[in-house]
Structure 1
Amino acid sequence: MDRLYDCKVIGNYLYAVGASPTGSLGTYEFVFFKLDPANLSNYVKKTFDLNWFNDDFPTSLSTDGSNIYVSGFYRMTVSSGSALKLDLDLNVITTNVYPESNIAFAIGVNTKTKNIWIVSDTYLIIADPNLSTKKGVLLPQPAPSWFYSSLIFDMDGYGYISYGNRIFKYDENLNLIKTISLPDVISKLIFISDYIYATSGFKLYVLNRQLELITEISLNGYNFRGASFDNSHLYLAGWMDTGSGDVDWLVYRVDPLVSRLHLVVRGTDDGIYYRWMTSSWSQWVKLPGLTTDTAALAENRDKLFILVRGNDNGLWLSSIRIPTGEFLGWQNLPGTTPSRPAISINTKNSKLYIVVRGMDNGIYFRELNSSNWVKIPGSTIDAPSAVVLNDKLHIVVRGSDGASIYHGQFDLLSNKWLDWTKLTGSTPCAPSITTNGTHLFLAVRGYYNRIYVKVWSGSWEPWEMIPTGTTQSPPAIAWYNGKLYIFVRGDDNGIYYCWKTETGQWSAWKKLDGITPSTPAFVPPP
């Protein structure tokens, strides 16, 4: 009887991989199925023996959309990890054996580099699309005595590997970024909309991409190795002990957390309006309160923080519970400002930092839970923009000459100011800065109201002009789901946005319903 170990929908077909007995030899070979989901009795079956007279077992299946990749192992006196590449008609294109490993537990196609990652019992291997080894690193030891292994990628090409009760985050060059341990062995990892879901023991854990725990959900069963997402719900398959020596199979349906791009604008009535986007935009919701300027936004775990300048130049902070949409009211913070404020989160410790232009044109910042404002050297005649990256608070401002652009850093670990750097170019408006966790992105309004973007990865790259579009207000910039987004107020007070595609091209501008007299404010998950 055939044993099936993994399956995946590719195009219009369901593909499954397993092991099939070879007959009188009592050994197994790879078996592949291509099934019609509308009629599962309509299928194509093919077998492949990687190593005759020995057992061949698959473990997982992945795809780049054009090919199928299968991990597994063959067993002689010792086992060796193996991988196969097939076309969509189940013809084997190439195979490879990795003698440095005993079992290849998981295989995946990196979403950014398109390289093939193979997770074994001891090594993490990068191979090219033809399965030739490019690089390998030893997984952190000691290896657990028994474990499952699962491999997923986010949209920026970071890989997340479960190994016993631990999750490892690697960059595309196999540098280990972070490790987290859960209480029990992890059965499965799933990546949905900027969040990582891990089944472990009797619980489903939800983490962000920094491997910070967001929430956990108790499950009645365990060993939830089966998981599928239909763009609306997450389905988990596992089993539970009935207490009488039998087991019952369980299927859970979970409503996943949603990675949202949050948008807040000032209305023509000075009201504050909010909506969000996943695969489509929600309706506008009018929030309590008024503002005379653009809001500042930050998301921290399950809350969206909204900071505005009031009619009295005071600072007012509110928040929304993202899962429920509950508005939690306004809080008046110490201090005043003649311009819109800035707010940013340090994802390493979830601290929120507020940066403002003072009534004396000085530049001040404070941690939300601190009562003390810190004055930074220098001055500005406009609103600052700020973001935290690698424990440094990065601040960009328009200079007192009304045109120059300055970038400065405050080291949050040593509490030291690291001075200003004057950038090339000029702007008649406040600049806007964001990060994707590794780089800074700066947007300004330039000559003839065109929009320019600049990238920092330790030093600043040349300016890039967005090919189309103009604005008479400061542009807003943020990184969301692997893309760089720009929002602007149009000459007609309309709300427009575009993004930079994976090929490096800028999309056409899209217009949202509604109008605003100020720059839109938007923020993605941290």
Structure 2
Amino acid sequence: MAATSVVLGTSSPAFAATNPPGEEVNYHPEVFNGGFPVQSAGTIAEARTLSRGVLLRAWRANDDSNNLWFSYGDNLNAFRLDNARSANSPTVVPFGYNQWAIFHRGLDNHIYYGFMDESLHWSGWREVFGQTTSLTPAVTQLGAEHPFELYMTYRGSSSSSMWGTYFNGVWHDSVNLGGATNHSPAVAWNPRSNNGNGALWAAHTGTDGHVYINTQNYGGNWLAWFSVGGNLISGPAIATSNTGNMQMAGRAPDNHVWYQELNSGGGHASGWAQDFDSLTVGWAPFLIAVGGIIYTIATASNDHRGWYKRSFNGGNW
């Protein structure tokens, strides 16, 4: 929790008896190779390309191998990339119009990334030099307005501090975001923020369990963290629909997914609400926006199977 945070309504557990708007009641199974269940020892990440909406899924093996797996298309074969291994989950985001950028924390705490296109041409792993982490980094594409630009946030490798760095063909110097967390932070681009000029939104779970957000206008500086309440035992996820509405999700002490909705200015659009489904999760959920719809990807705690559902239907709140 940052010393400069503005605390707004952080009474524990700070959950409200509301429901996420347009949420499906039931989850659907994550599958590959025509129907085999995806099982992961961690969070499952997904991204769709801007041009054709082709899916790439990334997850950590459900064993002690630390192997990372990927699958192309909605249920196609799983494969590995250059024998990458990690003690944490990988992540993937769109890049350009027909590519993805893939990231993971190596077993040496260094951050590695690479690019793959819809024809499965692979760049090979590259290192983000001088930047290390103890957890999964979070990355966002800066929307269709800046398709070849990325922003990455991550927790430091030797402290609870958080850092951010910008990519536009090269990685720029990292900046200390302030605040403190025991989990991975999150970051998302909102094209409707800042009067339609776009802004980044970062989120983290503070050391007090409450969730904090921060924003940076395109080309500007980060402001101060401020609380949006809640009570999580994981880092939060954050995603933006094309309406500008944002959704956050995280694993709560009851081991269920809880949600919070925000408008394009970061204002509360709802209180924290428990997922309709009774799925018990073992890790932080992942959110992916597809046009106006936001999906939640969650990993069950009992059998480590992956599930997805629509958690926001693109309407108003």
Partners of 1:438 and 1:416 in 2: CA distance: 19
1:439-454 matches, within 5 Å, as 439-446=293-300, 447-454=302-309
RMSD: 2.2
Partners of 2:245 and 2:312 in 1: CA distance: 13
Q: Does 1:427 align with 2:273?
A: no
Match of 2:98 in 1: 259
Partners of 2:298 and 2:106 in 1: CA distance: 23
Match of 1:375 in 2: 227
1:329-348 matches, within 5 Å, as 329-348=173-192
| CA apart distance, 1:333 | 1.4
Deviation per residue, 1:228-251 (Å, 9 max, x gap): xxxxxxxxxxxxxxxxxxxxxxxx
Q: Is the 8 A contact 2:292 2:313 kept in 1?
A: no
Match of 2:141 in 1: 299
Partners of 1:417 and 1:370 in 2: CA distance: 22
Match of 1:355 in 2: 203
| CA apart distance, 1:377 | 2.2
Q: Is the 8 A contact 1:433 1:441 kept in 2?
A: yes
Partners of 1:365 and 1:155 in 2: CA distance: 31
| CA apart distance, 1:388 | 1.5
Closer/same/farther in 2, CA of residues 444 and 414 from structure 1, 3 Å limit: closer
Amino acid at match of 2:189: I
Q: Does 1:458 align with 2:317?
A: no
Deviation per residue, 1:250-283 (Å, 9 max, x gap): xxxxxxx653201110000001101011121111
Give 4+ residue runs of structure 1 displaced > 6 Å after superposition. Answer: none
| CA apart distance, 1:286 | 1.1
Partners of 2:226 and 2:232 in 1: CA distance: 15
Partners of 2:108 and 2:225 in 1: CA distance: 32
Structure scoring higher RCO (CA < 8 A, sep ≥ 6) equals: 2
Closer/same/farther in 2, CA of residues 353 and 363 from structure 1, 3 Å limit: same
Amino acid at match of 1:458: N
Amino acid at match of 2:236: P
Name the SS for the 1:354 alignment partner: strand
Deviation per residue, 1:91-132 (Å, 9 max, x gap): xxxxxxxxxxxxxxxxxxxxxxxxxxxxxxxxxxxxxxxxxx
TM-score by length of 1: 0.37
Match of 2:161 in 1: 314
Match of 1:286 in 2: 127
Name the SS for the 2:230 alignment partner: strand
1:38-57 matches, within 5 Å, as none
Match of 1:394 in 2: 247
Q: Is the 8 A contact 2:51 2:97 kept in 1?
A: no
- Identity among equivalent positions (%) equals 22
TM-score by length of 2: 0.60
Amino acid at match of 2:171: F
Q: Which has the higher strand share?
A: 1
| CA apart distance, 1:442 | 0.9
Name the SS for the 2:303 alignment partner: helix
Match of 2:52 in 1: 155
Amino acid at match of 1:320: F
| CA apart distance, 1:400 | 1.9
Partners of 2:240 and 2:132 in 1: CA distance: 28
* Aligned partner of 1:365 among 198, 213, 221: 213
Partners of 1:395 and 1:453 in 2: CA distance: 15
1:107-506 matches, within 5 Å, as 155=52, 259-278=98-117, 279=119, 280-288=121-129, 289-300=131-142, 301=146, 302-310=148-156, 311-321=158-168, 325-348=169-192, 349-368=197-216, 369-389=221-241, 390-401=243-254, 403-413=255-265, 415-423=267-275, 424=277, 425-446=279-300, 447-458=302-313
Partners of 1:284 and 1:445 in 2: CA distance: 26
Match of 2:35 in 1: none
Closer/same/farther in 2, CA of residues 433 and 155 from structure 1, 3 Å limit: same
Deviation per residue, 1:269-303 (Å, 9 max, x gap): 00110101112111110111110000000112132
Match of 1:465 in 2: none
Match of 2:91 in 1: none
Name the SS for the 2:177 alignment partner: strand
Q: Is the 8 A contact 1:364 1:373 kept in 2?
A: yes
Name the SS for the 1:372 alignment partner: coil
| CA apart distance, 1:334 | 1.6
Name the SS for the 1:448 alignment partner: coil
| CA apart distance, 1:392 | 2.1
Closer/same/farther in 2, CA of residues 315 and 413 from structure 1, 3 Å limit: closer
How many residues in Structure 1 have an aligned counterpart in Structure 2? 204
Partners of 1:342 and 1:363 in 2: CA distance: 11
Partners of 2:312 and 2:183 in 1: CA distance: 29
Amino acid at match of 1:306: M
Deviation per residue, 1:56-102 (Å, 9 max, x gap): xxxxxxxxxxxxxxxxxxxxxxxxxxxxxxxxxxxxxxxxxxxxxxx
Runs of at least 5 residues in structure 2 that lack an aligned partner in the other structure: 1-49, 54-95
| CA apart distance, 1:414 | 7.8
Q: Is the 8 A contact 1:411 1:418 kept in 2?
A: no
Partners of 2:189 and 2:102 in 1: CA distance: 17
